[in-house]
Amino acid sequence: MGSPVRSTDIYDSLSQRIITWFYTPGYRLTEEELCAEFAVSRSPVREALGSLVSARLITKEAHKGYMVRQIDLREVNELYDTRLVLELAVVETLCEKGMDASILKDLQERWKVMLDTLPEGLALCATEDELFHKTLCSAAGNLVMMQILDDIAKRIHFVRLSDITDPDRMRKTCQDHLDLLLSLEARDVEQSKSIVRRNILWGKEKVDTAIKEALFHAHHMA
């Protein structure tokens, strides 16, 4: 007999559907349908939905229930601005205290392989990019900052899906990451911050296009 479904399992499943635009903005979620799908009572479903509201992935409106949030262009741009401030702080911390050599080596080897084997792995590049930045934040040792960046990553995931879509862009991403790792190894704070700024601002420039592309693909997959 399998393990019982927990509210965190429901949250993980629903958040993944939202950030990959399987559920498009405005999609309505009902407790009844979710209870039936996950074969659970209302309690874990309500808990999961409450967590999604807190994560600002869905809204709860009187007489309408739960709906996937509409995209706010200004908010997405502000998320990028916030991410930039936090990630600049991450690399500054890593340059000041130094980065664990084993983590540094593992990341360098991983991204060298990704660069050398292009265009293989292109479909996973958005997830790999998120993992790279998450690993750096974890290495910096600030758990609060890590949680904030993780929340931001979920809310801008659709931009990454649109951002890194071809071998040339993936090659540039790989090289940026390898250059950043070299700068961190040398504890060159200004060079590290310059690379992070360039990398994040590139993604921010894609926000408007990413929203249009995500909506187009979502509606054509529906």
List, for residues 63-78, the tens digit of each pLDDT value: 789 999 887 888 888 9
pLDDT digits (tens, 9 = 90+) for 174-191: 999 999 999 999 999 999
CA torsion angle 201 108 151 207 (round to 10) = 30
Per the prediction, the chain carries an average pLDDT of: 87
Q: What is the distance between the alpha carbons of residues 93 and 139, in angstroms, rounded to a whole number?
A: 9
Q: What is the pTM of this model?
A: 0.76
Q: Which residues pair with 68 in a beta bridge?
A: 58
Q: What is the distance between the alpha carbons of residues 94 and 208, in angstroms, rounded to a whole number?
A: 32
Query: Can you state the angle between helices 143-155 and 7-19, rounded to 10 degrees?
Result: 50
Tell me if 57 sits within 8 A of 18, measured CB to CB: yes
- Given the candidates 3.90.1150.10, 1.20.58.390, 3.50.50.60, 1.10.10.10, the CATH classification of the domain at 7-68 is 1.10.10.10
Exposure class string for 57-80: b at 16+ Cβ within 10 A, else e: bbeeeeeeebbbbebeeeebeebb
Q: What is the distance between the alpha carbons of residues 193 and 183, in angstroms, rounded to a whole number?
A: 9
Q: What is the distance between the alpha carbons of residues 21 and 193, in angstroms, rounded to a whole number?
A: 31
Give me the amino acid identity at 147. Q
Q: What local confidence, expressed as pLDDT, does residue 43 receive?
A: 95
Say whether pLDDT at 209 is over 80. Answer: no
Split at pLDDT 50, 70, 90, the class of 1 is: very low
- Cβ burial, residue 115 (10 Å; 0-12/13-18/19+): middle
Estimate to the nearest angstrom the gap between the alpha carbon of 16 and the chain centroid. 10
Q: Find all residues with CB under 8 Å of 56, minimum gap 6, and list them.
A: 69, 151, 155
Q: Which residue has the higher pLDDT, 128 or 186?
A: 186
Split at pLDDT 50, 70, 90, the class of 219 is: low
Tell me if 112 sits within 8 A of 178, measured CB to CB: yes
Q: What local confidence, expressed as pLDDT, does residue 131 receive?
A: 92
Cis peptide before 119 (omega within 30 of 0): yes
Q: What local confidence, expressed as pLDDT, does residue 186 receive?
A: 97
- Given the candidates 1.20.120.530, 1.10.3720.10, 3.40.50.11890, 3.40.50.12780, the CATH classification of the domain at 73-221 is 1.20.120.530
Domain with CATH 1.10.10.10 in the chain: 7-68
Q: What is the distance between the alpha carbons of residues 88 and 171, in angstroms, rounded to a whole number?
A: 22
Domain with CATH 1.20.120.530 in the chain: 73-221
